Structure 1
Amino acid sequence: MDNTAAWAGLLRVHAALVPLLDQELQAAHGLPLTWYDVLLELNAAPGKRLTMTDLGAAAVVSRSRVSRVVDELVRAGLVEREPNPADKRSAFAKLTADGRARLKAAAPTYLAGIERHFTGRMTAAEAATVATALGKVLRAHDAAGLHTIR
């Protein structure tokens, strides 16, 4: 196998599965995958909030889109913006109770989609190998001081 086969496979799987997961979440919950991603990161954060900079670094959605996605979530009542007392130029995005409820309701659809379209197509050992290999790449990227997505 040449050195680009793994990379090409990763890109193709991403291109094929992200739209499927997005369609399933929207059909079942009216929740785009980008919204789910941001809600998931906020839910995992201390105090259920992150600065926009930290959210941009953590979320899979691009840094340039995170502000627009947060604006959409604010309009939907799923996130609120809070002033950052430590830095008047920045703000926190904070998960609301409605946002947490929507995330919780959508989680089974999201997890079932991952199982149906991704991990269910491989053995447990293969899934562990993929997770280990991709984690290794992300850790090396992070150690080099480059932007990473958790």
Structure 2
Amino acid sequence: MPTAQPAPATAEPNPLSPEEEAVVRALPRLIHALPRAIDADMVREQRLPSTEYLALMHLSEAPGRQLRMSDLAEVCEMSLSGTTRVVHRLESLGFVQRVRCAEDARGWNAALTDAGFRRLKEAWPTNLAAVRRYFLDHLAGLDLKKLAAALQKVAT
């Protein structure tokens, strides 16, 4: 099967349509503003930053409610050192505990405690309301299945 070849260097670039230009310009603002808006609501209403909420959420979805620290960092899209700081804070609150990896005694897992799961359930309505208010409510009428597929394709 032939692979796509890059356009010749002499070809004129195809200018963006006004709609394409609007999307390209809005995306960086969205990437910056959306997490900040959700985080502000989470901190104000729950005293739980989004980074901590996301760690609790991902742990709640993991088998046995635990993940290797490096895997948690990956799914939270954070550095390992940043994840370690978040887990340390959650551990000090009794929401997470660190346990040795069963497969590799050198590694550590972050494990969600029952208290952490309760805290996640308590914070979930605030997160949901913020996601709807700042993002999903603005997408009314769009084909969300197609949008999700397109965003996933761009992300990979």
TM-score normalised by L of structure 1: 0.83
Letter in 2 for 1:67: T
- Cα distance in 2 for residues equivalent to 1:74 and 1:33: 16
Matched residue, 2:136? 119
RMSD of Structure 2 on Structure 1 (CA): 1.9
- Cα distance in 2 for residues equivalent to 1:102 and 1:132: 31
- Cα distance in 2 for residues equivalent to 1:57 and 1:7: 26
Following TM superposition, by how much is the alpha carbon of 1:64 offset from its aligned partner in structure 2, in angstroms? 3.6
Matched residue, 1:52? 69
- Cα distance in 2 for residues equivalent to 1:7 and 1:96: 42
1:20 to 27, 37, 55: 37
2:153 to 136, 141, 146: 136
- Cα distance in 2 for residues equivalent to 1:132 and 1:16: 22
Aligned length: 139
* Identity within the alignment, %: 35
- Cα distance in 2 for residues equivalent to 1:117 and 1:39: 22
Give the conservation status (yes or no) of the 8 Å contact 1:79–1:94: yes
Structure 1: 5+ residue stretches without partners: 142-150
Matched residue, 1:102? 119
Deviations 1:23-69 (A, max 9, x none): 11111111000000111100000000000111111113334411111
Matched residue, 1:78? 95
C-alpha change, 1:82 and 1:124, in structure 2 (3 Å) is farther
Structure 2: 5+ residue stretches without partners: 1-15
- The worse-fitting range, judged by mean Cα deviation, of 36-45 and 59-68 is 59-68
- Cα distance in 2 for residues equivalent to 1:7 and 1:62: 27
Letter in 1 for 2:109: F
Q: Tell me, what secondary structure is at the counterpart of 2:97?
A: strand
Q: Does 1:43 align with 2:71?
A: no
Q: Does 1:61 align with 2:70?
A: no
Q: Tell me, what secondary structure is at the counterpart of 1:86?
A: coil
Deviations 1:54-89 (A, max 9, x none): 111111333441111111111111100011132121
Give the conservation status (yes or no) of the 8 Å contact 1:119–1:127: no
TM-score normalised by L of structure 2: 0.80
Larger Rg: 2
